[in-house]
Structure 1
Amino acid sequence: MNEKGNLTTLRTHYYPRIPDKCLFEPDQVRLGEHTDFGSFTILFQDKVGGLQVKASNGEYVDATPIPGTALVNIGDALQFWTRERLKSTEHRILMPKTNKENIERRSIAYFVQANNDVLLSELQYENKDLFSHKKAFQCTTEPVTVLQYLKRQYKRINLQSLDHYSD
């Protein structure tokens, strides 16, 4: 990690206070539903909260910050490698629900990626499938590298291009 050929990233997120003149609907989404594309993410939230994660029943629940703890999200690559035994965590950020909650929000996310040239393929150990059940998460239609997958996902959601990174 943190070497040439690896896009592991430490990022700060800042959500400013919403001006009083701005109107929004209850449960309006501030940052849309998504999963993280890499292996996993370690998230450090402030006490404000606002993050929601999708529970196994399909409903979103608050990921209430707990002082002194970090939240770990499974990413798409780890879901693929484990054939869905570990699930990529869908999550979102809602607009503040009350004036009391309408304050600045900050978090720090450490997005852990495998090296760019690692192939997204099923894990093997001693020439055997590491996970023998049949259902497999299809994050790709053909074998691709981690960097190729990230480029596709960034393009799909219109994020800044990763085209300047070479395969």
Structure 2
Amino acid sequence: MNEFTVPVVDISAYVDPAGTAEARAAAARSFDAAARTVGFVQVLGHGIPTAVTDAFGAALDSFFGLPLEAKKSYRTPPEINRGYSPPKTESLSLSLGLAPSNRMHDFFEAFNVGAARSDYPGVDLPVVDYAENVWPEEADGFREAVAAYFDEAGRVARTLTTMFADALGLPPGFFERYTDHSLDVLRMNNYALPPGEVTLDGDLTGMGEHTDYGIVTVLWADQVRGLQVLGRDGAWHDVMPADGALLINLGDLMARWTNERWMSTLHRVKPPIVEGCIERRRSAAFFHDGNIDAVIETLPTCLDADGTSAYPPVTVGEHIRAKLAGSRAGVANTEAEREAARVLAARPA
């Protein structure tokens, strides 16, 4: 059996205005091959300055280092995908309809910011989906550092969709009309608990098995074990970012668009345990999900030979709301049979 590896793709030809057509075509081919086989990609040449990511990492430390009660003051209702989520208040497996007794058991804590209604003046958007952000006053410099990284990650996501159009043989700018008021969210995660707060019994879940919901995810993460990806061999494999790399994976909407030519790869986070303690791990996922009212249906070039698709059309809003109702509100998603079946196949009998 071949060793599992996450392919590396240099996208600098798409970032640099002087990038040649030949270099762009080579990057697009490489990404297409990776999306067909693994679904996770190490991306280099993304152009995010180290100063931005350093300040961003410090901002995460500043907020997550606050007392729990201070962090809890920034909680929002489950339907508002903003603010703070304490440990054991979510279950990502429920976004696929999977989790024992609908138990909210993922031990990570998180803070979410996203594209707000005020970011798209003149567009009539639902307040719940495009909620205004809450910003912790106790964490010095948090808002400025997070906003700077949010802008950079969004640029990378839009650069990637430009490359996606080339890789899929679509007209230039194809995805722009689906993303000009995109439902973008940056989720900052912290995997660390005080000693003695949990029992390290082998069943502790950092973040349950799930696929990402939207078009593409741009992931910044520490070089610490924990992230695991489900390979085509049916086994879970550890993945860590290479030096200077961002991890890129595709969401359900891209799998629907391409009729699974490109997969939304299942992944999870298992806590790295060193000498009986959980080793701290930070990550930040920028979810580029598309316009809330965009209708996603299989691309004509990706239909089956008989002209059919594995997926019916769905709006971005319908799909995302069903997923969030599972992970954040404990309502099992009944519309994710294909992804759930892949998780169940990978679990021990």
Pair in the same fold by TM > 0.5: yes
Q: Does residue 179 of structure 2 align to residue 8 of structure 1?
A: no
Contact 1:27–1:95, Cα closer than 8 Å, also in 2:
no
> What is the rounded CA distance, in whole Å, between the counterparts of 1:100 and 1:156 in structure 2?
31
**Residue 294 of structure 2: SS of its match in structure 1?**
coil
Contact 1:41 1:109 in 2 (8 A): yes
- The count of aligned residue pairs is 153
Decide which of 140, 155, 163 is 2:325's aligned counterpart: 155
**Mean Cα deviation higher: 14-23 or 78-87:** 14-23
Q: Is the 8 A contact 2:293 2:315 kept in 1?
A: yes
Q: Which has the higher helix share?
A: 2
Q: Which has the higher strand share?
A: 1
Q: CA deviation at 1:32?
A: 0.5
Runs of 4+, deviation exceeding 6 Å = none
* Correspondence 1:130 to 2:301: yes
TM-score if structure 1 supplies the norm length? Answer: 0.79
Gapped runs of 5+ residues in structure 2? 1-113, 121-180, 332-349
Q: What is the alpha-carbon distance in structure 1 between the residues aligned to residue 206 and residue 256 of structure 2?
A: 28
Q: Distance in 1 between matches of 2:237 and 2:230?
A: 6
Q: 1:27 to 1:54 in 2, by over 3 A?
A: farther
Secondary structure in 2 matching 1:114: strand
Give per-residue Cα distances to partners, 1:26-74, cap 9 Å, x unaligned: 3642211000010010111112231001000111100123221111111
SS of equivalent to 2:319: helix
RMSD: 2.6
**Paired letter, 2:268:** R
Gaps of 5+ in 1: 124-128, 162-167
Whether contact under 8 Å (1:46, 1:105) holds in the other structure is yes
Structure-2 separation of matches of 1:44 and 1:136 = 33
Compared with structure 1, are the counterparts of its residues 61 and 105 closer, same or farther at alpha carbon in structure 2 (3 Å cutoff)? same
Amino acid at match of 2:309: A
CA contact 1:6–1:116 (8 Å) conserved in 2: yes
Indicate the structure whose relative CO is greater, using CA pairs within 8 Å and at least 6 residues apart.
1
Q: Which one has a bigger Cα radius of gyration?
A: 2
Q: Answer whether contact 2:186 2:285 (CA < 8 A) is retained.
A: yes
Q: Does structure 1 retain, via aligned residues, the 8 Å contact 2:218–2:285?
A: yes
Cα 1:115–1:109 change in 2 (3 A) is same
Identity %: 32
Task: Give the 5 Å matches for 1:1-167.
Answer: 2=115, 3-4=119-120, 5-20=181-196, 22-26=198-202, 28-99=204-275, 102-123=278-299, 129-134=300-305, 136-138=309-311, 142-159=312-329
Q: Deviations over 1:119-139 (max 9, x none)?
A: 02122xxxxx2214247343x
| Partner SS state of residue 287, structure 2 | strand
The answer (yes or no) to whether the contact 1:48–1:101 under 8 Å persists in 2 is no
